Amino acid sequence: RYYELDGKRHGHPPLGYAGRQLSAEYHCIHGNPKHIKANIQCVRSIAPEITGIVFAPVAASLAMLDQEFMKAGALVIDMGAGTTDYVLYSNGSIAASGCVPLGGNDITHEIHRATGISTELAEQLKIKTGNAYGIPGLDIEVARVINSETLSSTKVRRKLINRIIRFTLQNILSRIQQDLSADILDRPEIQLYLTGGGCQQKGVRNLVGDTFGIPVNYLGPENCPRCGGKFWKPQHSTVIGLLHYAHLMENGS
């Protein structure tokens, strides 16, 4: 995170300086060794050489944010299918990071359990009719889904779908809040960015903004040079970030 040379803090390695005592503070990211090893073995089946391992939201941040954003302070939440990962930048370095083992698939599963419809239809309902923030006027309506194989239709109350989506997301966001100190989130300079496929759920930005009390920023092709132009989708940010990371490593940055 930073270096100290004779008690004086430096944001970058104090090369060229003279001193007696050099110390450094690091932010360490760790994971389940078995899962990491399994992923490495899987990748090695198609790419024998692995030059590094990057935490997903850190990679996504490289695709979305310039160093200026990281220096100013940024909380990046990567809302995936199986997990929701986050990384907090302060003064240009990582101040906190974590992983909540819940994601979009858990919302789909809860809709399936509550309604008895298939997971495929539950996913359709979540994407097409669900709203994490909830719209009172629409909550009284009934959503209708059609099974493409049997052509039978099922009716489900929107209020139930929205309640499941909102409850699951609030559970995820509350866990992130618990991991982050309140004094960090209260800093006015901190900006919040969402990425990952889950951030495309209707109403998510409003819910996240209300939960953290921070306006949610959106980065897309029009204001993010690295985002891949017209082909940009939030679920691609990690892959684009990994490519950028590889480019930085090749150039010794």
Per the structure, the complete domain to which residue 117 belongs is given by 104-165
Q: In whole angstroms, give the CA distance from residue 143 to residue 155.
A: 6
Q: What percent of the chain has pLDDT over 90?
A: 37
Is the residue at 1 inside a domain? yes
Is the residue at 9 inside a domain? yes
Is the residue at 63 inside a domain? no
> pLDDT tens-digit profile of 131-162?
998 766 556 677 777 666 665 677 888 889 99
Question: For residue 224, what pLDDT is reported?
Answer: 64
Above 90 in pLDDT, residue 107? yes
Beta-carbon contacts of 214 under 8 Å, excluding residues fewer than 6 positions away, are 75, 185, 190, 191, 192
Is the residue at 119 inside a domain? yes
Residue with the two structure tokens 């090893």: 37
Which tokens is 190 given? 């901190």
> pLDDT tens-digit profile of 126-136?
998 899 987 66
Question: For residue 166, what pLDDT is reported?
Answer: 95
Is the residue at 216 inside a domain? no
